[in-house]
Amino acid sequence: MNKQDILTATQAYIRKTFLEEGTGHDYFHIERVVINARKILEKENADPFLVELAAWVHDVGDYKLHDGVDKSKELITQFLQSLNVDEETIERVNEIVSQVSFSKGNVPTSIEAEIVQDADRLDAIGAVGIARCFAYGGSVGNILYNPEDQSKNASSVQHFYDKLFTLKELINTKTAKDIAEERHAYMENFIQQFYREVKM
């Protein structure tokens, strides 16, 4: 397979696997991450094949989708080997994916990892990020809002403070920083309006 065939086959696999996933990590989330990555690539000097391939598979085997067990490296390796992707590329894709997650706290060690991490984080903020926050919260049984409990993971609204409001300062590339500024401001406005409504 040439590189484009690999990307096409990977997209088809991701669509089949994630189309009806209900936690906010569905196919269309992954597609948006790929689109974000392509946008960042317009201004950054990186390997576009590695970036796009890693973006397509970045949620494969994620612990949130496997009862808390991280199967990323195992499942990504199996899938890419089935496409006869060379071992060096598989290793680099796994390295990039291992550095994407917010919860793991890993710092990207390549421009490719920076781009994929930024692309994923951009989809966690702004209007789409708000929608995904409540979709994920509902899927794991979190309540919407509890004004009496501000501990970590206490509610979907608390997740804004636990994670979403921190992401703007963790963005790596200038292109993504510019996008993040607007999306962060939108979330701030949303939360202000939310508090106005719940305190009526």
CATH value at residue 127: 1.10.3210.50
Residues 6 or more apart from 48 whose CB is under 8 A from it? 38, 41
pLDDT of residue 93: 97
Indicate if the pLDDT at residue 168 is higher than 60. yes
User: What is the rounded distance in angstroms from the CA atom of residue 55 to the CA atom of residue 76?
Assistant: 12
Extract the tokens encoding 15: 């669509």
For 103, other C-beta atoms within 10 Å of its C-beta total: 9
Q: Provide long-range contacts, Cβ within 8 A and 24+ apart, for 74-82.
A: 79/10, 79/13
List C-alpha distances in Å: 3 to 47, 113, 181: 12, 19, 34
Classify 22 as helix, strand or coil: coil
**pLDDT (tens digit per residue) in 141-167:** 999 999 998 888 889 999 999 999 999
**Mean per-residue pLDDT, 52-76:** 84
Is-contact 1 84, C-beta < 8 A?
A: yes
pLDDT for 103 beyond 80: no
Whether pLDDT at 200 is above 60: no
Q: Is the pLDDT of residue 101 over 90?
A: no
Domain residues for the domain of 23 are 3-198
Q: Check residue 163 and give left, alpha or beta (phi > 0: left; psi -120 to 50: alpha).
A: alpha
Given a contact cutoff of 8 angstroms between Cβ atoms, the answer to whether 137 and 155 are in contact is: yes
Decide: helix, strand or coil at residue 8. helix
Compare 68 and 103 and report the one with higher pLDDT. Answer: 103
Number of domains in the chain: 1
Distance CA 50, CA 137 (A): 32
* Both tokens assigned to 117: 């991490």
Region 108-125: what's the mean pLDDT? 97
User: What integer is the mean pLDDT of 111-139?
Assistant: 96
pLDDT bracket for residue 24 (50, 70, 90): confident
| Segment 34-45 mean pLDDT | 97
The pTM of this model reads 0.93
pLDDT for the residue numbered 199: 87
Give pLDDT, residue 156. Answer: 95
